[in-house]
Amino acid sequence: MAKTFTEELREAAGDQWDRVINHKFTTELAKGDIDRNVLKKYLIQDHRFLDAFVVLLASAIAKARSLDDRIEGCQFLGLITGKENTYFERSFEVLGCDKEERAKIPDQEVTKGFVNLMREKVLRYYSANLSFGPHSEILSVLVVAEWSYLSWGEKVLPITNRDDFLTYEWVDLHSGDYFNGVVAYLRGLLDKEGTLIDDAGKEKCKAAFLRAIQLEEDFFEMAYTA
């Protein structure tokens, strides 16, 4: 049976994909023994590109080919701006990191890299008088972000500590039936684009996919730097 386009992209990521989903951050978070300073740094930086992610996802929804292709994306957008954003706010309160303190903390280079990648793909689409080619690059970045998190979220779910919402809510947001459906939806959109774009377009998707998975690995590593 022929591989889907997203399977081909995942295969191209090779061992780096496995390093991301097996990173020590994921197991330490799930078990609840992660250093609070590591988690605090991770969450502060992760929250920095939430706005760019919302724009990226909204752009994918706006440029989808049909209403059916938009509905699940709209629902997921509501979760990101609702339940997930609320998790960040509650976490910052528990970690004793108010908005004033966070404002004094500079963006890490990997954070800038994520924001730039997301904005670049959105701007490329809107500045190009093309059909759906660059839209597939937007989907490539989204698929990396959500599929990699689903992969590690499902892996650590059985060992997740249920005593602390900082631990289990972040895992729950990235596992389970609903999130599996989100990833299937995003992969389905990109798989469909893979049957419609030319080889040059596929190479651009691959470049975006590989750039995103590199940033995912770098982001976990960043959390452990002094």
| pLDDT in 10s for each residue of the chain, 226 residues | 789 999 999 999 999 999 999 999 999 999 999 999 999 999 999 999 999 999 999 999 998 989 999 999 999 999 999 999 999 999 999 999 999 999 999 999 999 999 999 999 998 777 665 554 458 999 999 999 999 999 999 999 999 999 999 999 999 999 999 999 999 999 999 999 999 999 999 999 999 999 999 999 999 999 999 7
DSSP 5-31: HHHHHHHHHTHHHHHHHT-HHHHHHHH
Burial of 66 (0-12, 13-18, 19+ CB in 10 A): exposed
- Residue 133: the pLDDT is 47
Q: What pLDDT was estimated at residue 46?
A: 98
Q: How many CB atoms lie within 10 A of CB 198?
A: 9
Q: How far apart are alpha carbons 95 and 193 in whole angstroms? A: 42
Tokens representing 110 are 């990997």
Buried b (16+ CB within 10 A) or exposed e, 94-114: ebebeeeeeeeeeebebbebb
Could you count the other beta carbons within 10 Å of the beta carbon of residue 30? Answer: 23
